Structures are given as C-alpha cells and as structure tokens.
Structure 1
Amino acid sequence: MTTIAGFVLFISFFILLALSIPIAISIIISAILTLLLILPFDVTIITAAQRMVTGIDNFTMLAIPLFVLAGILMNNGGIAFRLVNFAKVLVGRMPGSLAHTNIVGNMLFGSISGSSVAAAAAMGRIMTPLQITQGYKRPYSAAANISSAPAGLLIPPSSLLIVYSLVSGGTSIAALFMAGYIPGILWGIACITVAYVLAKKEGYPVSERIGWKDKGFLILDAIPSLLLIVIVIGGIVAGIFTATEGAAVAVLYAVILSLVYKNLKLKDIPNILKETVEITGMILLLITASALFSLVMSFTGLPEAISNGLLSLTDNPILLLLLMNIILLVIGTFMDITPAVLIFTPIFLPISEAIGLDPVHFGIVIAFNLCLGNITPPVGSALFVGASVADVRIEHVIRTLVPYFIVLIVVLLVITFIPQLSLFLPNLFGI
C-alpha cells in the first residue's frame, strides 16, 4: 500500500502542476488524496489540518515576514539608489561598467531585501534605461540583471536558509548565514566575468571617471544602508539576538533609515503592509502545504526508499553528489524555491549525511541549485521579472543567458566538491 500511496502522491502532484493548478493547492490536494488511501476520511482531514497549523507554529518562522517587511521598507526607502551609487565606486571603469554596477547592486540589494525578484525589479528599473542610452543591447542588459539577481538569496540575511534550517532539523542559522557569503560572492564574480567578456566582444563603453571627492561622498552615503547587514548578521553570529530578533531589528532600522532619507511617507505604510501580507501569505501557505506533503512522504516511506535506491546505485560520493545536483537543477526549473527546499531536503539530506556531508554545506548546495532555477524557464520568477523590466522577449534573453548558466554551473560544482568554500567562515567564527 505504501508503494501505491507514494506513486499516487507524486503522479497526482505532477498532473495538477501540468494542469496549471497553483503549486500550494497542488501539494495540498495530492497529499490529501494520498492520505485517504492510508487513513479514514475524518482522520485524514484532522491530520492534514493539524499538520498544516503545526508546520508554521515555530518562533523562528516569524523571521520570514519580518525580513520580508524589512526588504519592502528598504525597497521604498531610497536604499536601492544609494547601493547602486556605491556599486559604481566598487566596479570602477571596466568595459560594460553599467552591467557590472547592476550585478554588484543586485548582490548588495538582494542580500538586504532577501528577494531575487525585488533585486531584479529594483536594479533593472534603475540600470536598464542608463544602459540603453549608452548603447547597450537590451538582451545583454537584461541577462546581467537576471543572472545576478539570485546572488542575494545566498548572501545573508536569507529567508531561504531559514527555511532550510527549519526543515533540516535545526541546522544553525548563524552557520548557514556565514556559509552563504563566499558562494554568494562567487556567484557575483562569475556573472561579472561573463559580462566583462561579452562587453569586450561588443565594445561597450566604460563609465565616466568618478572623482575622489565624489567617491568619498557616495561611500559615506551608502554606509548607513550597508550597516544593516553588519548589525543584523553580526548580532546573530555573536549570539546577541536570534534570527527572529535580528529580523525585528532589521525592520526597526529600515524604518528609521527610510525616515532619515525622507523617502518613507505615512501614506505609503498601508501599501507596504499590504504587500508584506501578500508575500508572507504566499510563502507561509507554501510552507504549510509542504509540511503536510512531508508528513505524507514519511507515511509512505518515500524518503527512505529514494535514499536507499540512490545509495544502491552507487556508494561513490562524487557520483551521488552529481546525481543529486542534476535532480535539483531539474526540479528548480519547474518548482519554486521554498516548496522545493521543503519537499526535497528530507529526501536528500539523509543521503548527504550518509556520504559524510556537513548539513551546513549541503544547505548551500541545495540553495545554489534552486537559485539557478530562479533564472531558468519555465518557472524562473527572476527571469520573467527581469525580462519584463528590460522590455525584452524571453527567448532573446535566454540566448544571452547561456554563458552565464555555463559558468554558474561550474561554480556550483566547485562549491559542491570543495566544502571549505562554504564551511570556512562558520569554522572561523566557531559556529
């Protein structure tokens, strides 16, 4: 019966997805259908309801809506513009300077906002018109923006890593946050490398020289925004406050900074709170649905069956890691990041532990894989937002994105097989 139930669970789920049913609803329906094969109707409904409620009954989970609110406040508080100016100083005068500024801006703003979509939208709106006026082609501009947007999901504070911590059984959030820095920076460097090569090929111009006086002003102007990362991450790593308390500090700091910049008005607050509720509701619905899905998987014994199946194919750690990476890359192309983490972490984590992987390292590997899915069709949200902001067709962007995909997959393999790239900073800080 458990084999049949497992078959029903995944077949019904993929059929519902193919019918364009929203992913959260698809997860809930397939889970309930499977439970009905195992339990009576009344017990199924009670069990499903209880599991969905307990799936978000966690204090740490409160960090997610708070970080969402902080990101939206910063998006409306004039911070993106200051980060772009700071990125111009960091990039200097390279061919395709504006594209590099876009990439660094995505890394900075994405890490603060915690959203690849917000980064792609905010940076794209600022940088695309500037690039077009200097002769950059729209697909090039869009590809640089889209490819670098998910880097901020790896650079903390990251809601994605918080979700992984919860579903993996309490992996240290502080360790995960520190582990995300080097992979996130490598993601950005990879994008800058590709953008540089393409810019040289196309002969794109460099930006105007910025005087030392102006550089000093732009750096000083950006420091208050950058301090948010230092305060929140430093406080979490030092044990001064938890991830949830750090998120609350981020909200308070974002409000104060936005008021100082005079970009936040009282009339904006209702819309900011509305947007926060909408995004949080979507995320929490996915989490509750995925919690139910995970419960049903445990009933059917699917995680153990899949783990045993993969381990029976080979006990070679290199082959197993390659196989898991391939599966996660495919999953990321058609499934949103949050439900993918919630559903597939319980399946692959036991395999990674069986071959001796640190759960912190494996969390970064999962995150990197699924972030790649964020910029690939057919579900890549950053891809569609970035193309829309740049006013360019998806098929035109994809051709320019191919070199980025290739280089990022190389970086993924490097991160997968060199654990110290993820574990160096957590070990350095003793977490």
Structure 2
Amino acid sequence: MEIGIAYYALILFVSFFTLLALGVPVAFCIIVATAIALAIDMPIQEVFYMGSQTMFEGINSFGLLAVPFFILSGSLMNHGGIAKRLIDLALLIGGRIPGSLLHANVLSNMLFGSVSGSSVAAASAVGGFMGPLQKEKNYDKNICAAVNIASAPTGLLIPPTGMFIIYSLLTGASVGTLFIAAYIPGIMMGLGVMLVAYYFAKKYNYPVEPRKESKEVVNIILSSIPSLAMVVLVIGGIVFGVFTATEGGAIAVAYSAILALIYKEISVKEFPKICLDAAAMSGLILFLIAASSFMAWVMSYLSLPEALSDLLIGISENKLVIFLLMNLALLLVGTFLDVAPALLIFTPIFFPVAHSLGMGDIQFGIMIAFNLCIGNFTPPVGSALFVGCNVAGVPIEKVIKPLIPIFLLEILLLLMVTYIPNISLILPKIFGLI
C-alpha cells in the first residue's frame, strides 16, 4: 500500500473508531471521519458539496423502497400474533428431541426471524415467550439465553431479509438469487446451534415434550400456514420474476396487515404508531446508507480497495489465505459494528478483492452475511446478545461460556461457506438462476 493511501486510510479509520468509542452514533462517525480524511486533500467547501451530493445519490434509488416496506412488514408481524403461531409450530417440530424447548427456540427464531427480518425482534419475541416455559422445566437459564441469542441472527440470513437488498444495491447482485442462495447457509447456522443445544440437553438430561393429540397437531399446522405462505409468495414472486424486490416488499406489507387484522391482534387505531415506528427505523437505516455512500465514494477516490488488494496479495498469493484474512477482519469488525453499517462500510472494500480472486458476488454476499450474523451475537456490541440477555434477565458474562462452543462451530460453518462455493450456489443452479 502506498504511503499516501495508507496515511489517508489511517486517518479515516482512526477517526471513525475514535468517534465510535466516544459513543457518537454510527452514521455521524462515518460522515465526520470521512470528511476529516477528505479535507486533507480538498477544500472544505468541496468536502461539503461532495458529501451532500454522494449521500443524496446513495439513497436516490427505487430499489431502496424495498427496505422500508420489509421493515413495516416485519413490524406488523411482530405485533400481529404471527410469532405465537410460529413458536407453536416450532414446538411441534422440535418436541420429540431431548431438550425440546431449546430446539423449539432455535426453530422459532429461524421461522420468525425469516419473516420479521430482525434478530432483535426474534430474540425479544421468542426469548420472552420461551423463557417462562424453559424455567418451568428447570432448564439452565444461561444456556437457554445463549441458544436464543445465537439463533436469533439466523433470521438475518434466511430470506426475506433487507440485508441482501442493501448488498444488492452495493454490488449489483440479483436479490432473488441471493434469497435462494441463503437458504442452505441459513439452515446450517440454525442446525449448528441445535447441535450444541442437543449436547447440552444430553449432558443435563433435559426432557422431551409430551406428544400432542392429532387434533391439536392439525390446528397448529393449519394456523401457521398463512404466516409461512407469505414467505413462499414473496420469495417465489421475486425469484421467478413475477415482481421486483420493492413490489415484493409492498405485497408483504399488505399481506401481513390483512393477516394481523384477521388474527385480531392489532386494532386499526394501532396502525399509525406501528407505521411511525417503522418509518423511524427506515429513516435510521437510510441515513446509514447515505453516510456509507459518502465513505464508499471517498474510499474509491483514494483507491483504497485497490491498495488493500495489493496489500493482501503482498502478504500471500494464495487465495485461501486471503479469504481467511478477510474473514478474520470481518469477524473483528462484527464485534464492534452492527450488521447494517458493517455491511455498508466493508462490502465496497472487500468485494473487489474477493472478485479479483474468483469469488462471485453471490458467494461473497452469503459469506459476509454469515460472518456478520456471527458478530451479531458476539460481544462487545452484538445487538442480539444485549437484547437476549435483557429478556432472559441474565448478565452477559454468564452466557459467554455456553456461547463459546456455538461460536466455534459457527466459525467452522463459516469456513465451509467460504471454501465450498456450492453450499451457496447449488440452489441457484438448480433454479437456473446462475
């Protein structure tokens, strides 16, 4: 890396992480750090002009309308009684496995997280429901919290999820192909947590749930079908080109609103507040995207991705080693940054490097998403970690020990996703998408 580029990069990232350590909101950290780095080489008036211009261009995209649509859809589902029905289905599926309430927790997070698109919502809603049931059966609350926390981010990976819509806008990758590609890795992540949960269940002799009567089984399955049908409708429509991701988001909103009214879990008077909350969350994410667009432009202006590529190739010409270094860097970043800002900042840096080494946009998207999902339950800043501990009423230090074996297994799965392309690409190939 040239001295000049290294100098600018050092100023950029030292400023960013210093502001982050001081508790400045992430979007402002990005804007201020980027402006400081750019001001060294450019008059301040031009910095303001380029900043406002690139931030506006960063969100001036029709495709970004999908983000608020999916956020509103997830918010309607969170309040609309869908979580309870999906948890009942998960209890039915996992009920005959030792430690059934742990497995039901994981399956609930996979099901509910996928339709809500939020690890925080999954950790809160599912953890809040499962916690009293697990306490009643004398499950260790630290283990229960760890399993809930580690499985909550699976919903960020299993579609439909806004993360891949943002990634698509950054790289040009197909949203439908990303959605299909994410299913196997997302299920692998959930099964990894279930494998460790099974170990804990055998070690501590956790019980199996009693069999349900046939009539109750049928009722549970029938009541869950409308919720699961939304996933089939939205994903199927996007993948087969019936509608775009943005239109799919609008359909998801209409479907979840109708379902909430049918379930009578939300009154008409509650809709304005739900919409306002979703608008606030959308504004936060879009502001992050705008800020990150400014940083991405400056990194391109400074030729930082090319310099980083030269640096990594200078360390080793073996692409397996370079992919490992990229994963280590992303895992470290994931412990400090939430998923959205980490994705927005580091995709423009690492994607050109991965692409030059033969990794396609779909596999890289799955790899970075899987990586950042692990960071979502890793201290010190993992949002699922904090929410899960708060819901369970346990201190963070108590869940670290049961989280360690889950973390190590997820790292192994991450390496499999990195080095075995067909884990991500086999389903898109079957559907003729690549």
- CA-CA distance at 1:5 after TM superposition: 2.4
Tell me if 1:197 matches 2:199.
yes
- CA-CA distance at 1:285 after TM superposition: 1.4
SS at match of 1:55: helix
Tell me if 1:167 matches 2:170.
yes
Q: Distance in 2 between matches of 1:89 and 1:2?
A: 57
SS at match of 2:377: coil
Q: Which of 332, 335, 339 pairs up with 2:337?
A: 335
Q: Which of 30, 37, 40 pairs up with 2:40?
A: 37
Q: Which of 32, 52, 57 pairs up with 1:54?
A: 57
Q: Distance in 1 between matches of 2:381 and 2:59?
A: 25
Tell me which residue corresponds to 1:404. 406
- CA-CA distance at 1:95 after TM superposition: 1.4
Q: Is the 8 A contact 1:3 1:300 kept in 2?
A: no
- CA-CA distance at 1:331 after TM superposition: 0.6
State the identity %.
Answer: 51
Map 1:22-421; keep pairs closer than 5 Å.
22-168=25-171, 170-421=172-423
- CA-CA distance at 1:2 after TM superposition: 4.3
Q: Distance in 2 between matches of 1:174 and 1:161?
A: 9
Q: Distance in 2 between matches of 1:274 and 1:253?
A: 19
Q: Distance in 2 between matches of 1:413 and 1:225?
A: 33
Q: Distance in 2 between matches of 1:88 and 1:309?
A: 50
Q: C-alpha deviations, 1:373-410, integer Å up to 9, x for none?
A: 00011110000000000000100011111111011111
- CA-CA distance at 1:113 after TM superposition: 0.4
- CA-CA distance at 1:92 after TM superposition: 2.9
SS at match of 1:210: coil
Q: Distance in 1 between matches of 2:121 and 2:287?
A: 20
Q: Distance in 2 between matches of 1:119 and 1:380?
A: 14
Q: Distance in 2 between matches of 1:270 and 1:343?
A: 33
Amino acid across the alignment from 2:48 = I
- CA-CA distance at 1:6 after TM superposition: 2.4
TM-score norm. by structure 2 comes to 0.97
TM-score norm. by structure 1 comes to 0.98
- CA-CA distance at 1:262 after TM superposition: 0.9
Q: Distance in 1 between matches of 2:92 and 2:11?
A: 55
Q: Is the 8 A contact 1:2 1:299 kept in 2?
A: no
Matched residues, number: 430
Over the aligned positions, Cα root-mean-square deviation in angstroms equals 1.0
Q: Is the 8 A contact 2:154 2:189 kept in 1?
A: yes
Unaligned runs of 5+ in 2: none
Q: Distance in 1 between matches of 2:421 and 2:127?
A: 33
Q: Distance in 2 between matches of 1:96 and 1:6?
A: 49
Q: C-alpha deviations, 1:64-120, integer Å up to 9, x for none?
A: 110000001001000000001111121131111111111000000100000111110
Q: C-alpha deviations, 1:282-334, integer Å up to 9, x for none?
A: 11111111111111111211111111100121111211111111111011000
Q: C-alpha deviations, 1:345-377, integer Å up to 9, x for none?
A: 111112211221111001000000011000011
Q: Is the 8 A contact 2:181 2:425 kept in 1?
A: yes
Q: Is the 8 A contact 1:311 1:351 kept in 2?
A: no
Q: Is the 8 A contact 2:305 2:353 kept in 1?
A: no
- CA-CA distance at 1:3 after TM superposition: 4.1
Q: Distance in 1 between matches of 2:10 and 2:187?
A: 40
Q: C-alpha deviations, 1:42-83, integer Å up to 9, x for none?
A: 111111011111111111111111000000100100000000
